[in-house]
Amino acid sequence: LLIALDAMGGDHAPREVIAGALLARSELKLDVALVGDKSVIEAELARQEAPASSFEIIHASENIGMDEHPAQAVRAKRDASINVAMGLVKRGVAGAFCSAGNTGAIMASALMNLGRIQGIERPALGTVAPFSERGILVLDVGANADVKPNYLVQFAQMGSAYAERAMGIPNPRVALLNIGGEETKGSELIQEVYGRLGKAGVNFVGNIEGGDVHRGKADVIVTDGFTGNVAIKVTEGVADFIFRELRTALTSKPHYKLAALVLRPALLKMRDRMDPGTYGGVPLLGVNGVVMIAHGNSDARAIRNALRTTHEAAVSGMLDTIRTTAAHKS
Amino acid sequence: LLIALDAMGGDHAPREVIAGALLARSELKLDVALVGDKSVIEAELARQEAPASSFEIIHASENIGMDEHPAQAVRAKRDASINVAMGLVKRGVAGAFCSAGNTGAIMASALMNLGRIQGIERPALGTVAPFSERGILVLDVGANADVKPNYLVQFAQMGSAYAERAMGIPNPRVALLNIGGEETKGSELIQEVYGRLGKAGVNFVGNIEGGDVHRGKADVIVTDGFTGNVAIKVTEGVADFIFRELRTALTSKPHYKLAALVLRPALLKMRDRMDPGTYGGVPLLGVNGVVMIAHGNSDARAIRNALRTTHEAAVSGMLDTIRTTAAHKS
């Protein structure tokens, strides 16, 4: 299975992206095509002392920056690396797409090139919450700021399919993010969704509150893209804040430093478990293809892990499961 | 200024509530009336070896439990401690209300007994985000799961008044919680609110993302009660999670334990800064009176701090500022 990797996407592209592709090839034996400016890619491969023949290189003459307006850029730059890589998936040349580039542009390009799965009204961006042992999928985390009850029911079905197939969680527990445990809590929209999730063909376990997101009470957490985005960014912000404070506290007195040194391995291990780069990529669900988005500031290891996740998702059959589920409902 | 304290409210009432009142009296010289079952209160005062004459005791024959249906309980139990204490504020006997009891019941009782400030369509529950140096007020955090643009504009005005008067922050920076920095980001509702906050008479500094809530970029963060509730509970959940992991990591190897012991003071100091009990109480804004709500699991210190916050809010004139602002807009 060939993965079309956007070599130009991300804060540290192409350097870290290409380094990550090299790791994925040497350590995981993954089959990757690099998509982007051919001369830039070749120069970077040379700089990293990898033979130019390491990967198939697919030339793309344009590039979409991290701050460009997604929909406009995708339409204006038809030969952007994101569009070219997505085209490889569309034509069946590649079995999956992966990029650390502009998230909005990836979503727009996926919709334009691959289209929605029949029966899915809106694609959703999933993410795997940091901290969790076997992974907790939260969706939507930003594709849809405004939602309708239908969308959330479909997010639950897509999330369940992804968790079961791609993440290997049998009969995943699906919960609705809410501000209380009871059926009568939350906005009118959420209360309507609550009533429908029991009949949506998923293992619905009820509401989950913000404080329990990271406690492993559910495998799939369904929410609108506004709340989900805030929840995930707050999580990252709080973790960053605490680790920064910890560093300050541990260097505030000379006699702390030795103790901190002793604890370093334990702290690093903990930090690692909370790093989004450990999981690597997050899926865009509901489009006709496997589309994985890596964090913008991915380093080589994060890209390697995103490519692993992309490969797992592509071979898992999750796309067929979503198609089957969605077709039954439409 | 007399504070009407609900002696029966909270997970550890009346023990910790009364212990907190004693601390507030001895350490802060605050004037507190204890509202609740007189015989229970007197017995608890005796148990804590405080003279029965320590406080004015206002008898209330009923009590609303933490899990009761708020609106129903408030209407059915007219002589509940929450209603009796709120009545003291209504009649001007007390200058402020404080309780660690059922939040929904406190909101319902405040609406029923005190009513809304003219020009305010919906009261909002504020909270002070943990971690912040001088305090970051987030509102609404749960009173309104469904909102209209008007409400959010009023939340901004009330939050600004509270931050300036009660928290002592001059010209507080007001930000809108959103999923991106630009004016065109977020739900339709949020985009409309963005356009109106520039003319709302507050120091509007634009959008703030979830990851920046704890970074001190704004003093007042405006959001709907659904998103705000999730954001605050995620914050508490992540902090709890990290500290639990930290404890596990620091006791995972024998030679870590001594190092952990050395670091204990630094870690405790950090933990303290993140404890909601340090700030104590969160205000219900938009009702005709000073209403402060303490965390349900408050201990004596948290109650003491909530009473301090209640007193500061009551003497600050924040209520008059909100009334003036709201009257101008209505």
Write the pLDDT tens digit of every residue in A87-123. 999 999 999 999 999 999 999 999 999 999 999 999 9
Reported as type and span, the H/E element at residue B97 is: strand B96-99
- Contact call for residues B59 and B38 (beta carbons, < 8 A): yes
Distance from CA of B207 to the nearest CA of A (A): 12
Residue B103 CB partners (closer than 8 Å, separation 6+): B70, B125, B142, B293, B296
Q: Which residues 258-277 of A are in CB contact (within 8 Å) with B?
A: 258-260, 262-263, 266-267, 269-270, 273-274
Give the separation between CA A47 and CA A24, rounded to whole angstroms: 18
pLDDT at B327: 75
On the question of pLDDT at A75 being above 50, the answer is yes
Which of B187, B230, B232 to mutate to probe the A interface, most A CBs <10 Å? B230
Residue A60 CB partners (closer than 8 Å, separation 6+): A8, A35, A36, A37, A79, A80, A81, A83, A84, A85
Per-residue pLDDT band at A330 (split at 50, 70, 90):
very low
Interface touch B262/A256, C-beta < 8 Å: yes
CA-nearest residue to A212 within chain B is B237
Give the separation between CA A206 and CA A218, rounded to whole angstroms: 9
Interface touch B230/A231, C-beta < 8 Å: yes
Contacts 24+ apart (CB under 8 A), A78-82: A80/A105, A80/A109, A81/A6, A81/A7, A81/A8, A81/A9, A81/A35, A81/A36, A81/A37, A82/A6, A82/A9, A82/A106, A82/A109
pLDDT at B277: 64
Burial label, A28 (beta-carbon count in 10 A; 0-12, 13-18, 19+): middle
- Phi-psi category of B101—alpha, beta or left, where left has phi over 0 and alpha has psi -120 to 50? beta
Cβ of residue A215 closer than 8 Å to a chain B Cβ: yes
Q: Which regions in chain B score pLDDT beneath 70?
A: 131-133, 276-279, 328-330
Arithmetic mean of pLDDT, A35-60: 94
Taking the CB of residue B311, how many other CB atoms lie within 10 A of it? 24
pTM of the model: 0.91
As a whole number, the mean pLDDT across chain A is: 92
| Amino acid making up residue B310 | T
On the question of pLDDT at A219 being above 70, the answer is yes
Interface touch B226/A227, C-beta < 8 Å: yes
pLDDT at B293: 95
Q: CA angle at residue B212 from B210 to B217, to 5 degrees? A: 135
- Contact call for residues A278 and A305 (beta carbons, < 8 A): yes
Per-residue pLDDT band at A276 (split at 50, 70, 90):
low
Give the separation between CA A270 and CA B247, rounded to whole angstroms: 11
Give the separation between CA A34 and CA A46, rounded to whole angstroms: 14
Partners of residue B185 in chain A, C-beta under 8 Å:
145
Question: A117: which DSSP letter?
Answer: P
Give the separation between CA A252 and CA A2, rounded to whole angstroms: 50
Cβ of residue B104 closer than 8 Å to a chain A Cβ: no
Question: Which of A202, A281, A288 has its CA nearest to residue A30?
Answer: A281
Distance from CA of A11 to the nearest CA of B (A): 18
Which of B103, B222, B238, B270 to mutate to probe the A interface, most A CBs <10 Å? B238
- Of A22-26, A130-134, B152-156, B162-166, least confident by mean pLDDT is A130-134
pLDDT at A272: 75
Question: Which of A122, A44, A111, A117 has its CA nearest to residue A82?
Answer: A111
Burial label, B301 (beta-carbon count in 10 A; 0-12, 13-18, 19+): middle
A229-245: buried (b, 16+ CB within 10 Å) or exposed (e) per residue?
Answer: bbbbbbbbbbbebbeeb
Partners of residue B213 in chain A, C-beta under 8 Å:
234, 237
Give the separation between CA B27 and CA B249, rounded to whole angstroms: 38
Burial label, B181 (beta-carbon count in 10 A; 0-12, 13-18, 19+): exposed
